Amino acid sequence: MGKAVARVCEKTPGAEIAAGYDIHTDGSEKFPVYSDLSEVKEEFDVIIDFSHPSAFDSLIDHVEKTKTPAVICTTGLSDGQRARMNEAAKSAPIFFSANMSIGINLIIDLAVRAAKLLENNFDIEIIEKHHNQKLDAPSGTALAIADAVSEAVSYEPEYTYDRHSVRRKRGKTEIGLHAVRGGTIVGEHDVIFAGTDEVIELKHSAASKEVFAVGAVKAAVFMKGKGAGMYSMKDLIENS
């Protein structure tokens, strides 16, 4: 993702990478790369983070200390880390999205509208597919879709991740979440609304990681100079 962000920045007016931070580097970058964020000597306006939950605490420590705007794109954060991020946003500007693709966020918006209109008459299932190296399942994006739909309906949905251990009919309030892992699939999300004699599907497929980098760079440009608070893709889309 770091290389994808670098490629997008080269094509984006007003966006320039001052430095990178990564525990691994092949030395081919056109900018300095540090193994620790606190070691960065260059001045910068925004941090883009595509890393791993294990790097979260040091990132938030830096954001809280410096008040530097951060675009956090890492998935698989624990409930405790999400809570700390929300707390940090009280004093620093933080942008967070489980998926940085503009397209997937449009799918979430459409899923919310569909859920409101089809409530009580359609069963909701979410299928996500990713490459065989992805660690978390279901994906953060699948959960974000389910959470958005849950807030839109009048009942409290029950998330069902696996049905093989219980022999019973599907509950009316269930939202099924299913994860597929294989090959080099970048990312696919399918939201299914299954009713009587008809099925509606909303689907998004990412062909490359570039789509996530484009969203992240747009978010970084958007976040420059922002005040403390929690920002989301909805804020970016509404102000674009």
Does the 102-206 domain belong in CATH 3.40.630.40? no
How many angstroms separate the CA atoms of 235 and 233, rounded?
A: 5
pLDDT in tens, 201-239: 999 999 888 999 999 999 999 999 999 999 998 898 888
Cα end-to-end span (Å), the chain: 23
pLDDT of residue 84: 96
| pTM attached to this predicted model | 0.75
Helix axis angle, 210-223 to 102-118, nearest 10°? 90
How many angstroms separate the CA atoms of 56 and 130, rounded?
A: 22
How many angstroms separate the CA atoms of 215 and 114, rounded?
A: 24
Catalytic residues: 130, 134
* 26-35, 104-113, 163-172: least confident range: 26-35
Could you state, in order of their start, the residue ranges of all structural domains in the chain? 2-96+209-238, 102-206
86 pLDDT band, cuts 50/70/90, is: very high
* CB contact at 8 A, 107 and 146: no
Pick among 3.40.50.720, 3.40.50.1000, 2.70.70.10, 2.60.40.10: CATH of 2-96+209-238: 3.40.50.720
How many angstroms separate the CA atoms of 170 and 185, rounded?
A: 29
